[in-house]
Structure 1
Amino acid sequence: MSILEFAGFLPFLLVIGMAAIQLGLVGYGANQAGSAARAAARAESLTPGTAAAAATASTSAWLQPSLGGCGGDATITCTVTVHVDAIIPLFDGWDLHRTATMPNDKYDDGS
């Protein structure tokens, strides 16, 4: 009799387990997006035009990082977006955006 109870409860356990794994993947993606945004902002502040390469190099390739843009004068602000695929078939996945700002080492305010 207990095997029938377990068989009936097993789908719920599997969904809860998959949801926990999915939550971990989203957390990892958010962390990677933040790291990529910081790396892109720092690289752009040191050498203009290197933000995209820095963002890509500092992120796991399966997250498909994309640089949303960098800009600023005294500070450089970069936005990076990563995509976390869904492992639960009911969802499409998530795009996570993170922004970082770094001081521009090459900025001259004229004083």
Structure 2
Amino acid sequence: MLEFAGFLPFLLVIGLAAIQLGLVGYGANQAGSAARAGARAESLNEGTGEAAAASAASGWLSPSASIATGDTVTATVTVHVNAIIPLFDGWDIHRSATMPNDRTGRELTPP
């Protein structure tokens, strides 16, 4: 019983670290999906990328997006994963996605 009581704090820290690692992985997945959604939306309709990226990620991750346009559209999304382990502040995760700009080559000529 005494050995278990001495080992219990290590087990708790390992369990919390595993949960934290899962949250960071989830945040990276959400940031990547939001970046792709933002780039896709912006490549089709100008001005819709940031809203699409923000709505594609979970709200508790506080997503923020920035869009750069040209011949291609690049969406960069940053999410913040809070720490569940004391002594840590959390992590900002950045992901980018680039897609061709479908608006640049469009011509409105009749068939």
5 Å-filtered alignment, 1:50-65, equals: 50-65=48-63
**Structure 1 consecutive aligned stretches of length 4 or more whose deviation exceeds 3 Å:** none
Which structure 2 residue ranges, 5 or more long, are not aligned? Answer: none
In the alignment, structure 1 residue 78 sits paired with structure 2 residue 40: no
1:36 Cα deviation (Å)? Answer: 0.4
TM-score by length of 1: 0.92
Preserved contact between residue 50 and residue 67 of structure 2 (Cα < 8 Å): no
Instruction: With the length of structure 2 as denominator, give the TM-score of the two structures.
Output: 0.92
Residue number in structure 2 paired with 1:99: 96
CA-to-aligned-CA distance 1:54-87 (integer Å, 9 cap, x gap):
01111111000001x2123221001000000000
Identity across matched positions, percent: 72
Structure 1 residue runs of 5 or longer lacking an equivalent are none
Deviates more, 1:5-14 or 1:101-110: 101-110
Q: What does residue range 1-111 of structure 1 map to in structure 2 within 5 Å?
A: 3-67=1-65, 69-108=66-105
Equivalent AA in structure 2 for residue 5 of structure 1:
E
Q: Which amino acid aligns with 2:87?
A: L
The one-letter code matched in structure 1 to 2:86 is P
Q: Within 2, Cα distance between the matches of 1:14 and 1:36?
A: 33
